[in-house]
Every structure is written in C-alpha cells, then in structure tokens.
Amino acid sequence: MVNRTLGNRYQVTEKIGMGGMAEVYKATDSTLGRTVAVKVMLPQYASDPNFAARFRQEAQAAANLSSPYIVNIYDWGRDGDSYYIVMEYVRGTDLKTAIQQRGNIHPRKVAEIGSQVCSALSVAHGYDIIHRDIKSANIMVQGDGNVKVMDFGIAQAGHPGMTQDSSVLGTAHYVSPEQAQGKKLTPASDLYSLGIVLYEAATGQLPFDGPDVVSVAMKQVSDLPVPPRQLNPNIDPQFEAIIMTALEKNPDDRFATAKEMQRAIDDYLSGRSSAETQVLNHGYAAAGAGAYGVDQTTVMPTPGQTTIMPGGGRQGGMQPQQRNNTARNIIIALVAIVLIAGIGFFVANAAGLFGGGSATVPNVQGQTEQEARRSLTNAGLKVGKIKLDISETVEKGKVISQNPTPNSHVEPGTAVDLVISSGKTSSELVTVPNLKGLTASEAEQQLAALGLVGESKQDSSDTVEAGKVCEQDPAVNSQVEAGSKVTYTVSTGKKKENVLVPSVLGIGEVDAVSTLEGRGLSVSVDYESSTSASQGEVIRQSISGGTEVAKGSSITITVAVSPYPSEPTTPDTPGGDGEGNTGGDTTGGDASGGGEGDSATS
C-alpha cells in the first residue's frame, strides 16, 4: 500500500496504525498539498457488501459532525478493491498507548479527557449517531493535551436495517452489557464505554478481562468492577462516583445524556462541592482485572454464535445449546427459589413473626466511604446520593453527615445519602476570576495573583474581538484549589470562511478579476510584456488554482501586454550613423530590430 496513490490523489507514504477491520496510513493530498490520514479497509472485509456499506456510513456519519474533539472527515472512495476514508491527520498518541507507557494517569487529567469526549459524544448523539466503539485506542491525545475522538466505522447512524444483524460489533473490553447481549443501543451505551475508558486511564487497568472476547463480554453483563479507589487511592470519591455511575449495568441508571455526564465531570474539576452525583447501590467485585487481552474491534457473537476473530479465525467454547439450556435451568431454579421465599416472607410477616419489617440505620459518620458502604449494605440498606463538602474537623474522604440519621428505623433497601469531607478549608480554595474581555497577558496577571495557573488556546468568536478572552474553564466564581489550571480561549476574531482559488490562467483580465472577486478574494493586477501570450491574457497568478485559502485573502494576477516600442533615434544623435543605429558608449534600443530593448555598449 505504501507508495500507492489512491483515487489519483492521495499518495500513501507510511503505515501508522492497525485496527480490527482497517489499516491507517499517512498520505499526502496532491491536490491541496496537505498531510492526511487514510484508513483502508482490510481485504477480508472489503469483499463483504455489509462492511463496505458500514465503511461508507462512517464517512457520511462523521463528515456531518462539527466538533473540535472529533477527527474531521475529508473524503471517501474506492480504488480497485480497496475502500478508503480520508481524514484529518492528528499529531499525537492514542490514549491506549499513553496508558500502556505511563500506567495510570492523574485523575484530574483523566477527567479533562472525559469532559472533552462527552462534548464529542453530545454532538454525535445530537445527530442520532451512536459511536458503538468508544475505547482508549480511538481517543487521540494531541500535544496540547486536547483529544479527538475517531473511528465511527461501526457507528449506528439512523440505519436500523444496517445494525439489526445477528452479530455484535465492538471491542469486548469496552462494550456495554446491552451491546454484548445484542439488545437495542442508546446514547447511554457510549457512556458505559466511556466509563470503562475513564476507569482504565485512572487505574491503569481494565475493569474486566478474560482469556477470550466471549468471557470478557459475559463479565460486562454480569460482573461488578473493583472500586477504582481500591486500585488508585488518589482518585477523588466524587470522580469515582462519576465512573461507577457510567458503569451501571442498567442503562436507565447511568447518566441520561453525555451533556449530563459532562456537567458532573466539570463540577468535579471546578471543585463545586454543591454538585451531586447519584450513585446507586453498586456491588463490588473482590478481585482486580488481569492482564490486557484482545482490544481490537471485533464481530462478537450474540448467544448461540461462534466468535469471528480479527484475523479470520474462530473461537470455540461450550456448545450454544448446552450453554443456553444450563443458563435457562439456573434461571428457572432461581426464580422458583425467589417465589417460594417471597411467599414465605409474606405469610410470616402477616402472622407477625417479623418485627415490623424495618431496618436500623447504622451510624457511619466518621467512616470512610468504603466502610460506610459496607456498614449500610450489612444493614440491608443502599447508598444514595453522595456529595462533597468543606469540613474544618472531618478528615478528607470521611463521612460528615448522613440522611436518614443514625439509629432511625426505615424500610429495608432505603437509600442513605452521605456528605463526605473534601478535606479543604475555605482558605485553601480560590475563586476563579472573570477573564472574559481581557488580553492574554492581563488574564495571566490576574491568575498569577490568585495562585492559579493559566493555559491559553485560540478559537474564533463572532462576538469578542481578536486578542481578547472569549471563554474560560472553570467558569467565573468557581471554587478551585490553589495551583489549579484555568484554561482560557483567546478570540481570533470572526471565523474566516475558506474558499477554493480558481485557476484564471489564459483568460482575459476583466473576466479573471470578476471570477476571483466573485470568490471573495482581493485582487491586484501586475502587467508584464510578453510575445508568447495574447495581450490582456492572465499568464501568472500568485496563488495556484485549487488552493484553499481564507475568504478575503489577497491574490495577484499578472497580465500579458505587448512589448513596449523602443524609443526612436534621430539623425543628429551623437554617434549616430543616420540609419537609426547608435554606437560608442550610448545606451539605447536597437532600432534595426536586432533585439528587444538590449543595450549596446562598447
């Protein structure tokens, strides 16, 4: 594939990546002269019309999405037996590689990544596009720390017929329980996968692993993850609660939208103690995840199928009918036990054998979150809402107060809300100033005076003049720790519209100027004598045709004119011979026609 030109336009230079269904190459767009990334479908999938249709669907789906956190799609095509997608070339590394090289990443940085991915998903979900393959390998981290989500190759984009097949597409370590079971997907399915990514990045481990994709997918359906803070104690309880909410098995118990999850993450990043994250009664697994297994996008089986591995091999296992029968028998037995137990409880309770059916709320104040969870679970109660609050007396991570109060009598299964100490006194928190309308240097001065660290970026703005701050994060008046980073965006002015420069070579000056000005370009005209072009014809333009430039850019065209006539000579010209010729050291035109403006010197 290297050195091959796709579509008579994209010159492939090197291979830069490999996925489960495609390879990615670096290439040069010969028309626009820019570097691009080209994803080429693997031959074993190119012959399948369904995969070819999905490949085309990726280009169509992603091309409509406009977000600074989504890789731009430029083109799609077929060259011989090869299908390819041309996309933005992103300089950086994927998050999976970063985790493998560095281990766990600082939780606040993980949260920043999560917020940006939520922003990207919010845009996609707004177009009814479900990504279906959110994983760390599909998140590119750029040099400035910002991320770009890529690979919409198996996205579900309003084509129900294309997704209602007998296979489950995705990467086993990241698929949601409903995806592993072949059920209908919702935006919450992407949020589950993002929860896996955040867990992996913050702990350095995947929550579920196994010897093959089937066993991993089954764990996604039935197992509960080890709490992240057991693997990395530096994870804040509020951020752990966000991750665990995203990893709820029931889609209805997760965040309702990507925007809602982003708000929860931004509240955590801003240090807003008033932000509440609903955390349901998570059960926790007793053992951590093992080594990484297969992490490529695969076609996974729904019940009763054989796994198709990326290399074309097949993964065997228990016979489908045997597995289904075993599972059915277990379920029937469990249902029978539950029914018998329920009837027995009803009869006993009616007979007065139970003391009112109430539970006593234990006192968990002063306990760590994990200790409080165990105490409440042992008492037959659930953990309700968790929020952080400042406390001068209670150690960070321990319970300040609870509702219902200790020793009160409630129904079994009641949720108990907890307020946990953030361990910060008011003197340790800083109020984020309003930077909007300031220059970058003014913003830096204000932040430095408060002990905050500024980080600038640029973007266009229709309302704020160039050189002034138009956005900031965290928001104005947010309470953050001293030394926290505040990102502010400096306006570059109104967004410039790009236009494609037409070629006007060989056409008349008036038509050329009209054509270029019609594209919104500022035109200057130079003139040059020429014997090879017709007078008034454009012989050169400063910006080549086919180049993409900002609307309003300046362009100069050079128009041909006839050679200027030489200055005539007179008989009394000193040194003249009366025939129009000059000699000696006099400089002038050769009126005999022997040259065009050449000087004759002795």
pTM: 0.48
Among residues 29, 94, 133, 223, the one annotated as catalytic is 133
Domains of the chain and CATH, by start: 5-303 (1.10.510.10), 359-424 (3.30.10.20), 427-491 (3.30.10.20), 498-561 (3.30.10.20)
Is the pLDDT score of 248 beyond 60? yes
Give Dmax over CA atoms of the chain in angstroms: 143
For residue 279, what pLDDT is reported?
Answer: 41
The residue among 340 and 420 whose pLDDT is bigger is 420
For residue 287, what pLDDT is reported?
Answer: 31
Q: Please give the structure tokens belonging to residue 296.
A: 């490529």
pLDDT tens figures, 33-56: 899 999 888 887 777 777 777 777
Is the pLDDT score of 531 beyond 50? yes
Q: Please give the structure tokens belonging to residue 283.
A: 């059960």
416 and 408 Cβ atoms separated by less than 8 Å? no
pLDDT tens figures, 583-602: 444 344 444 444 444 433 33
The sheet with strand 147-149 has its strands ordered as 92-94, 139-142, 147-149
For residue 164, what pLDDT is reported?
Answer: 37
For residue 416, what pLDDT is reported?
Answer: 92
pLDDT tens figures, 50-103: 777 777 766 776 777 888 899 888 888 888 888 888 988 988 888 998 899 888
pLDDT tens figures, 273-307: 534 444 433 333 333 333 333 455 555 544 444 33
How far apart CA 153 and CA 147 sit, in angstroms, is: 18
For residue 533, what pLDDT is reported?
Answer: 86
* Mean pLDDT of the residues in the chain: 77
Lowest-pLDDT range of 138-142, 409-413, 422-426, 496-500? 422-426
For residue 112, what pLDDT is reported?
Answer: 94
pLDDT tens figures, 114-166: 999 999 999 888 888 888 889 998 999 988 889 999 876 444 544 433 333 33
Banded model confidence at residue 463, pLDDT cuts 50, 70, 90: confident
pLDDT tens figures, 207-227: 999 888 888 888 999 899 999
- The secondary structure of residue 560, as a DSSP letter, is E
How far apart CA 54 and CA 171 sit, in angstroms, is: 16
Strand, helix or coil for residue 476? coil
Q: Please give the structure tokens belonging to residue 71.
A: 């890789």
For residue 316, what pLDDT is reported?
Answer: 37
Lowest-pLDDT range of 100-104, 373-377, 421-425? 421-425
Banded model confidence at residue 319, pLDDT cuts 50, 70, 90: very low
Annotation says 223 is catalytic = no
H and E: helices and strands count for the chain = 15, 31
Strand, helix or coil for residue 440? helix
Average pLDDT over residues 303-322: 38
How far apart CA 186 and CA 526 sit, in angstroms, is: 61
249 and 221 Cβ atoms separated by less than 8 Å? yes
Banded model confidence at residue 228, pLDDT cuts 50, 70, 90: very high
